[in-house]
Structure 1
Amino acid sequence: MNSILGFRSSLLRCARMMSDEINMLLLPYQLNYSLWQVMFVIREKNGCTSIEMAEYLNVSKPSIAKRVHALSQLHILTHVETEDKRQKKLILSETGLALFQQCAQDIDHFEQSLIAQFNPQDIQHAVHIFHSIVSALEAQHSGDQHAD
């Protein structure tokens, strides 16, 4: 078997299986991994616009709009004014923040149970490799945009 194909298929299968498990964890909260990602970015950035979310998650703006709408219906998001009145900054509401903290705890527990069997140095090495791959993909993506 070609090792590059083995790596790619293993990585994609692992990512799919992890997102499926996280979806199951989030189901009781009326959330899924896509909605969780939006909550995560908002929390990570201490509030942000839909455009910033789309760029961070590398997804389309209409996809973010659908997610924001769903989260707004669950009273998880709050809009705040910005200097530029054309843009809406989103933050987690009190309900959203409490939900985020509970879900983060559940997801962290799941993640810890998965990696507990591995040597911490191996985990750090894997994280370093993933960061390097993301950096290479971002550089490739940036280069593709400048070529247009």
Structure 2
Amino acid sequence: MERNESLGYLVSHFNVELQREMDLRLKRYNIDLKLWPVLFCLWEEEGVTQTELSCSCDVANYTMTRMLDQLQAQQLVYRHQESDDRRSFKIYLTDEAKALEHDVIREVERVHEYFLSVLNDEDKKSLLRLLKRVPRNNVL
């Protein structure tokens, strides 16, 4: 197999470049790249449990705990304990995080536009459609 025909190589190379550019853009808002998926999910739907958020972001629950700790320290999220279950917390965005949504999403859209600019509209749609079809979390 040639390097330029290897899915792993091509995806890894693309991911490095994409993350580098996203990291530069997100740093302008003091957002660490690894926290981006959490904020993005919460902008779509807040008031979810940590477990639900872990599933949405494809990370382990203990990893999500650390991510939420960081976001809480930055005053971007808060945990609300449910009265009927002392072990369950729902995660909510602070006003500061809500105020960032439009600008941060626009920055990420610019990154996407840059990387997809070499494709025509049909190819962009096909790429996204195909990426959604690729299985995740499967073990050989």
The interval holding the TM-score normalised by the smaller chain is 0.7 to 0.9
2:4–2:10 contact (8 Å) kept in structure 1 = no
Q: Report the secondary structure of 2:86's partner residue.
A: coil
Q: TM-score, normalised by structure 1?
A: 0.82
Q: List alignment gaps of at least 5 residues for structure 1.
A: none
Higher relative contact order (CA 8 A, sep 6+): 2
Moved over 4 A (4+): 2-5
Q: Which position in structure 2 is the counterpart of 1:108?
A: 109
Q: Which position in structure 1 is the counterpart of 2:136?
A: 137
Q: List alignment gaps of at least 5 residues for structure 2.
A: none
The letter for the 2-side match of 1:69 is D
1:35 is displaced (CA, Å) by 1.0
Q: Which position in structure 1 is the counterpart of 2:49?
A: 49
User: Residue deviations 1:18-40, cap 9 Å, x none?
Assistant: 11211111112221211111111
Between stretches 97-106 and 79-88, larger displacement belongs to 79-88
Distance, in Å, in 2 between the alignment partners of 1:126 and 1:107 is: 17
1:77 is displaced (CA, Å) by 0.7
Distance, in Å, in 1 between the alignment partners of 2:88 and 2:4 is: 43
User: Residue deviations 1:117-139, cap 9 Å, x none?
Assistant: 31111011111110110xx235x
Written as runs of structure 1 = structure 2, the 5 A alignment for 1:51-130 is 51-82=51-82, 83-130=84-131
Q: Aligned residues, how many?
A: 139
Let me know the Cα RMSD of the aligned residues.
Answer: 2.2
2:46–2:92 contact (8 Å) kept in structure 1 = yes
Give identity over the alignment, percent: 16
* Structure with more helix by fraction: 1
Distance, in Å, in 2 between the alignment partners of 1:84 and 1:16 is: 41
